[in-house]
């Protein structure tokens, strides 16, 4: 499984450009249903406005980027607020679809680079703002869609205030204005994305094959049930004898998968079980 990377979903080209610069993304040359950027650190897609477009672009990017689960998904965009000044940034702790009333609560398990706030997804840019909510047009389309492809802790919305009762968006905001708002928050976006990538890597490591698994599968035949047993035996071996080569005890006598399993069982039974703090770690490290 490839190393987890970032997936940005934005509404506007002006939001995508500063992200692409910061994260080293290049626009894909071939024609796609959406503007898509790609780089070593991940992908960005320009959805257009509206929750349906956001949902469609999220699903499109998932498939285009390989369909791997466990990636970091970030909806970055602008929004309105009844009180907060232009330029303030927020992470969504609650997302509500204004049309249906359905709510989602993104779990926030890393340090946040800015305050958290509820986000209300509306059908069009509002000139009246429900107090305390950040008003946007994408989050309620993006979030439930991305949660189909990743665990919810890795799916987040980062919103920057672009309008309030004193600075309304009667016309579409200029590209340069939106770009500046995003650019001013790139450090926060990057640190947040990196923190989420740390979580994604932790989960990816859990799902990784134990040492020797692929090599053994390639050499001996196993039924599906035996493959599950093999995985678990190798996981146990990796814990009990982390430096051991799992193939070392599998001599030429092993003809079938079950011979391999038997040899691994025997080897595991010879390793004493020791439950103790690893040397060098103080006892209060876990208290």
Partner 1 sequence: MLYVEEEILTHPRTLLIRGRFPDDEMIPCARYGEVFNRRAQSFRLQKRRPSLILARKHRNFVLDAPPGFGIPETKSLYFSHMLNCIYDCRYCFLQGMFRSANYVVFVNFEDFQWEIEAKIRAARGGSGGSGANGARNGDALPLFFFSGYDCDSLALEPVTRFAATFVPFFARFPDAFLELRTKSTQIKSLLDIDAVPNVVAAWSFTPEEVAEVTEHLTPSVDRRLRAMSRLAERGWRLGLRFDPLIYDRSYRERYRNLFAQVFSTVPVASLHSVSVGPFRLSDSAFRTVVRLYPEEPLFAAPMAEDGGGVTYPRDLEQEMVETVTADLLSHIPREIFFPALSTPPAGSRERETGSGTAAYEERPSGDDA
Residue 194 binds partner 1, judged by CB under 8 A: no
Task: Yes or no: say if 113 and 184 are a contact pair by the CB < 8 Å rule.
Answer: no
- Beta-bridged to residue 7, according to DSSP, are 43, 73
Q: With binding defined as CB under 8 A, does residue 263 bind partner 1?
A: no
Residue 279 sits in the site that holds partner 1 (CB under 8 A): no
167: number of Cβ within 10 Å: 12
Other Cβ atoms within 10 Å of 13 Cβ, number: 15
Pick the piece of the chain touching partner 1 (CB under 8 A) from 34-42, 77-85, 151-159, 254-262: 151-159
Could you tell me what percentage of the chain is helix, strand and coil, using 3-state DSSP and rounding each to the nearest 5? 40, 20, 40
CB of 71 to partner 1, least distance (A): 13
* Contact present, 58 and 47 (Cβ < 8 Å): yes
Q: Residue 276, interface with partner 1 (CB under 8 A)?
A: yes
Nearer to partner 1 by C-beta: 52 or 239? 239
CB atoms within 10 A of CB 75: 29
**Window of 23-31, 58-66, 164-172, 196-204 that interacts with partner 1 by CB under 8 A:** 196-204
104 touches 143 (CB < 8 A): yes
- For 164, the token pair is 């309030």
Which of 169, 186, 199, 263 lies at the binding interface for partner 1 (CB under 8 A)? 199
**Stretch of residues binding partner 1 (CB under 8 A), selected from 39-47, 102-110, 178-186, 217-225:** 102-110
- Contact between 94 and partner 1 by CB under 8 A: the answer reads yes
> What does residue 145 show for φ and ψ, rounded to 5 degrees?
-70, -50
Shortest spacing between CB 15 and partner 1, in angstroms = 25
Shorter beta-carbon distance to partner 1: residue 14 or 71: 71
Q: Which residue has the tokens 């956001």?
A: 54
- Residues lying near partner 1 in the complex (CB under 8 A): 93-94, 103-105, 107-110, 116, 118, 147-148, 150-153, 155, 199, 202-203, 206, 232, 235-236, 239-240, 268-269, 272-277, 283, 286-287
């Amino acid at each position: 499984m490839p190393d987890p990377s970032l997936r940005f979903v934005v509404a506007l080209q002006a939001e995508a450009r500063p992200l692409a610069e910061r994260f080293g993304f290049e626009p894909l040359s071939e024609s796609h249903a959406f503007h898509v950027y790609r780089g070593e650190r991940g992908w960005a897609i320009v959805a257009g406005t509206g929750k349906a477009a956001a949902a469609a672009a999220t699903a499109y990017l998932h498939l285009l980027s390989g369909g791997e689960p466990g990636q970091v998904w970030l909806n970055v965009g602008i929004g309105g607020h009844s009180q907060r000044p232009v330029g303030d940034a927020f992470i969504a702790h609650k997302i509500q679809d204004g049309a249906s009333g359905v709510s989602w609560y993104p779990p926030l398990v890393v340090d946040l680079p800015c305050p958290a706030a509820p986000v209300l997804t509306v059908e069009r840019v509002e000139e009246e703002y429900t107090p305390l909510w950040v008003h946007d047009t994408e989050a309620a389309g993006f979030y439930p869609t991305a949660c189909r492809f990743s665990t919810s802790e890795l799916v987040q919305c980062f919103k920057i205030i672009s309008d309030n009762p004193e600075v309304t968006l009667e016309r579409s905001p200029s590209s340069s204005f939106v770009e500046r708002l995003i650019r001013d928050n790139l450090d926060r976006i990057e640190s947040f994305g990196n923190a989420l990538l740390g979580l994604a890597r932790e989960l990816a490591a859990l799902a990784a094959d134990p040492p020797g698994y692929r090599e053994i599968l390639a050499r001996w035949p196993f039924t599906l049930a035996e493959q599950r047993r093999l995985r678990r035996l190798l996981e146990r071996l990796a814990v009990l004898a982390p430096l051991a080569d799992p193939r070392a005890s599998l001599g030429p006598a092993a003809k079938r998968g079950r011979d391999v399993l038997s040899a691994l069982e025997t080897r595991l039974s010879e390793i004493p079980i020791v439950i103790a703090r690893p040397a060098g770690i103080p006892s209060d490290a876990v208290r």
